[in-house]
Structure 1
């Protein structure tokens, strides 16, 4: 069996947060597939994606970046860990599982809309604005805003 060497994923831009990147073999590039201020929703999203990709017979190659001592750190992601998603659990300093998951989903939808609109390298005040929208809007409204951003780019 031949082993393919993939280039290491690039460090994400902006302030350290939890960011997962997936390798796209067709373009030999890395793409952000999930991000959140908390690790649990990103790992949960990775598990869901791994399950879907593998069910379709694909190869799921990811890289996980997160904060450590105020700087970016790449973390080891075992594909075995991503194979069986478990809902994130809340620790003493984290919001409840459902609240965190829904907040993470709204944030991912907005960030995806911004990316499709051509806004990739967000400043800290941009992330603060996204977080403010996530906290104030329901999921349906967030999806509509992301749809507008995407349509504006076309």
Structure 2
């Protein structure tokens, strides 16, 4: 697995937000992330959120962690903005060091598989600790995503 470490400067993402758990996402009747992304694309929010930063990719941001992979967390589908956007949820991506997991392939399958790789990586490398502050997906093309995991 070709991993990069990258320093990220803080930035703000605005869009739609849901609160969920990994357990809830494994059951179609309780999953919230897929329907939120459906609404995001149906409403064409990537093009209409006010104050969008030039050339912003679409982001999926994980924040508000209750604890670790077993606790509740927030997911925001959005774009980088120059200032919080009225009528949309905003989240600040924390500055710091991130591990970057890249994937190519049909979405959402490629991103789901990447999260599986991420969980396996941290199980096999307990010396590397996640921050559980902000993590994010940057959709860099129609079939490419980079997942940034904050580390200590």
Q: Above 0.5 in TM-score?
A: no
Instruction: Say which structure is richer in strand.
Output: 2
TM-score by structure 2 length? 0.25
Instruction: Say which structure is richer in helix.
Output: 1
TM-score by structure 1 length? 0.25
